Amino acid sequence: MKLKPLVAALTAGVILPGVAFATDGYFSHGYGMKAKGMGGVAAAMTESTFGGANNPATMVFAGDRIDVGADWFRPMRSAKREGSAGGFGFFDASVDGNETNNFVIPEFGYNKMLSPTTSLGVSVYGNGGMNTDYRDGKVDQGICTVGAPNGVLANNLLCGTGNLGVDLSQLIIAPTLAWKFAPNHSVGVSALVGYQRFKAYGLQPFAAISSDPSNLTNKGYDSAWGFGVRIGYYGKINDMVSVGAAYSSKVRMGEFDKYRGLFAGKGDFDIPENLSIGVAFRPMSALTIAADYQRINYSGIDSVGNSSRQSNCAPTFPAGPGVGPDCLGAGGSSIGFGWRDIDVWKLGIEYAYSPALTLRAGYNHSDQPISSQDVTFNILAPGVVQDHVSLGFTYSLGQSGEVTVAYMHAFEESVSGPATNPHFLVGGTETIKMYQDSLGIAWGKKF
């Protein structure tokens, strides 16, 4: 295996700027540009080197290959509050859009056949993440003052000072070994080396319900590494049907020490376990119809799955700390974002229009992870989109490889619920909303 391109890609990935996802919860709708053009379908497909992200067993059928690409991703997030202060509207506010709306998400894959039945490769990909950056100055400056230091007016959307938001990005480096134990059947395993970084700002009012308010907000970036594993099976039943299945363990990450007053377990933020099963049907040589089912268990991560309305936390105004085992950053019962486990259904079509051009289309639908009672906290993480459509194509460049393009649109979705800001006078109804577009391009080559 040639190490120079691999090392370069890994280095670029580790230092990549903050990226943003919010499609199937906070996971991407797909991994690898070909999968992205088919709604994320990948469990029973063998055309790229992103088995480490999808199904490790498929890599031995991909052969000697390299893939390099990048996505332009544009998530349009907004939030508003209506009917606050008992209907007088003193805390009403609306933010349409964020300071940062455009992101670039790189991807890289490499695979080498060690023998006719064994391959060794690596997939490097952005697993997921979330970004919000709401502008300051959205609430009446003469009213909203909780958490304001040194007389500074607190008037962002959650009654804090300055801009309001978070920036979470997760990168996975997945060395992958796959083995054909029969001519049409394989198994594979990927070591998942996770890297993530995070920052939060403008959350001063939540000091009242934080177990460690000095490590809650405006601490700059913190980062953590962690480890997990993905295993998979792929089988070609006959010339028309193939199947695949993969399971990823929880990726156990180090703690965000700078935010141990925000995340449950004093800064814990693991990556949830997930599983996928898929089938690909080829009624003719030029046409493939494929479908995946995916389960993402967000509730297994306390900081993500715990309810934001835990009852055993007594606020201490104005600057905390909160008292009780459910307060932000405390133990396993701490306040979280309230995300539910979700089922994701993916359907894709691939058609070889000519020897040089392959066309793709797909649809992806996920459950809603956010309930109405948890809207306030999820102003920071409005991963509410559920329905995605995608289009894509691959064009052969002959000996120079191939170019793949994929476009995705996630339709606008919103969730509304009662305001639960620690500022007990806020009240009213809050709504979070999002839609998305992405456009990616990748170059790939067999060698």
Report mean pLDDT in 10-residue bins for the chain, 447 residues. 44 46 85 97 96 97 97 94 86 83 93 98 92 82 56 77 92 97 98 97 92 96 97 97 98 97 95 97 97 97 92 85 93 92 98 98 97 94 96 96 98 94 78 96 96
So what's the pLDDT on residue 152? 61
CA distance 91 to 140: 6
pLDDT in tens, 408-433: 999 999 999 999 877 656 789 999 99
Residue 225: how many other CB atoms lie within 10 Å: 12
pLDDT in tens, 5-44: 444 444 444 444 445 556 889 999 999 999 999 999 999 9
Domain that holds residue 32: 3-446
First to last CA, the chain: 12
Q: φ and ψ at 39, to 5 degrees? A: 75, 10
CA distance 89 to 198: 33
Q: For residue 303, give the 3-state DSSP assignment.
A: helix
**E runs forming strands in 87-157:** 93-96, 103-115, 118-134
CA distance 177 to 231: 10
So what's the pLDDT on residue 86? 84
Q: State the total domains in the chain.
A: 1
Q: For residue 292, give the 3-state DSSP assignment.
A: strand
Q: Is the dihedral of CA 303, 307, 308, 312 positive or negative?
A: negative
So what's the pLDDT on residue 15? 43
Residue 210: how many other CB atoms lie within 10 Å: 30
Helix (H) / strand (E) containing 68: strand 65-82
So what's the pLDDT on residue 32? 96
So what's the pLDDT on residue 13? 45
DSSP track, 178-226: EEEEETTEEEEEEEEEEEEEEEEES-GGGGGGBS-GGGSSS---EEEEE
**Which residue is associated with the tokens 């449950």?**
264
Alpha-carbon separation of residue 326 from 245, 320, 360, 426 (angstroms): 37, 14, 48, 22
Structure tokens at 277: 């099963």
Torsion of CA 312, 272, 21, 133, to 10 degrees: 30
Helices (H), 149-273: 264-267
So what's the pLDDT on residue 84? 86
What is the pTM (predicted TM-score) of this model?
0.92
Closest-CA residue to 132 (of 193, 206, 72, 79): 79
So what's the pLDDT on residue 150? 55
So what's the pLDDT on residue 140? 64
438: CATH: 2.40.160.60
DSSP 8-state class, residue 69: E
